[in-house]
Chain A
Amino acid sequence: MNSDQDIVYLLEKGKNHEAMSIMMPNYKRFVHSTAMRYLKDDDDAKDMTQEVFIKAYNSLDYFRGDSKIQTWLYAITRNLCLNAIDKKKRKGNSIQMDTLELSSDDRSDRLVNESEFSRFFKQCMSILPEKQRETFILRHIEELSYEEISEMLGTSIGGLKANYFQAVQKLSQYLSSKKEGNIQ
């Protein structure tokens, strides 16, 4: 497994293309899932993944290895996603930031191809506000420390701990309600 150290070593040697060829498979899922959470559209997220890596490639000279590659990529992804959302908003295609729910037409088309777990996961994430959702994913899935998440999201460590706990609590309540049959 190629580590971040290998990538940084290649960057120091000026082998940017080789460094990117390791970075992309290692972080493709992370970038795509982050873009997906912001943009809420698979095609847009795929395009954004491409855009993020090109942006990263062109900015490699500015990456000094002070922060983790994941943190750096998250910042690029988040900025590009927020810019894209802004652009869409200005064009009149408003996007609801705090929900992952799709429009009814999209829902009927897409749910056909989605697995049961995929639907369940998206439903779970849709009940969480953006900050809680991001904190939950970064802590539970990406297994990042609170310090790293704090650097990514610009939130205090105390605030992140509270966000994570509230996310778990909300999910627990949601699952209990679902079990009791209150939610389809």
Chain B
Amino acid sequence: MNNHERISHMIPDYINGKLSEADMQIVEQALAFSHDLQHKHDEYIHVFKALKKQDIIQLMNDEVESVDVILPLKAKKKMFFPKILIGTTTAIAACLLLWIGVNTQTQINVLKDDVKKTTNIELAETIDDFTPLELQSEDVEEVILDEILTVYVSDIESGKEINPLLEKEITNYLLQENADEEVL
């Protein structure tokens, strides 16, 4: 490519002010001495006047005005756990809940046994308050009944579940007691 051609190639960028300062001076000097380059310069100016950047951008903006880009609400995210692990996790959670349930029930049963044992010990201690000479069958029965009634009332107050058979026996006993008192 000779110098003339090289400068011809620079003219479009010269017209649009996209050359460096040094290149601008080279083109300007060449234009001053070459009619052919001057002619090309005028022709290219005509092109850029006919195809004004702003007009083309306006045209493109008009064309794109009706384009509505709708994005999905969320980008797809990679799953942290593979699906197979989700099933395994659910199974482990279910087993854990089952174990907690069984364990809690066992603890409740142990507590119930403790309550029964405590009651028996208290009864025995109460009986021990009597000397063997003083102790009679009626006294023993009374002490036991008192203890049973105390536990029964305490259970009702604390909202514990009452054994229906025991409840029936106590009710009958109290009715009997009332009946005896009325007869007297």
Binding site for B on A (CB under 8 A): 16-17, 20, 24, 28-29, 32-33, 36, 42, 46, 49-50, 53-54, 57-58, 60, 115, 117-118, 120-121, 124, 140-141, 143, 161-162, 164-165, 168, 171-172, 175-176
Contacts and interface: CB of A to CB of B under 8 A. Distances in A.
Contacts, number: 82
Chain B interface main SS type: helix
Contacts of A161: 9
Given A115-B59, A121-B56, 14 more contacts: A16-B75, A29-B61, A32-B60, A32-B63, A46-B66, A46-B67, A57-B72, A120-B50, A140-B53, A141-B60, A143-B18, A172-B44, A175-B47, A175-B50
Contacts of B56: 121, 141
Contacts of A36: 63
A176 B8 CA distance: 18
A33 B69 contact: no
Interface residues of B, number: 31
A62 to B, nearest CB: 12
Given A49-B64, A161-B9, A54 B71 contact: yes
A172 to B, nearest CB: 4
Contacts of A33: 60, 63-64
Interface string B34-75: 000000100110111011010111011101101101111001
Contacts of A162: 9
Contacts of B51: 121, 124, 140, 171
A143 B13 CA distance: 10
Nearest to A24: B69
A175 B12 CA distance: 16
B59 A118 contact: yes
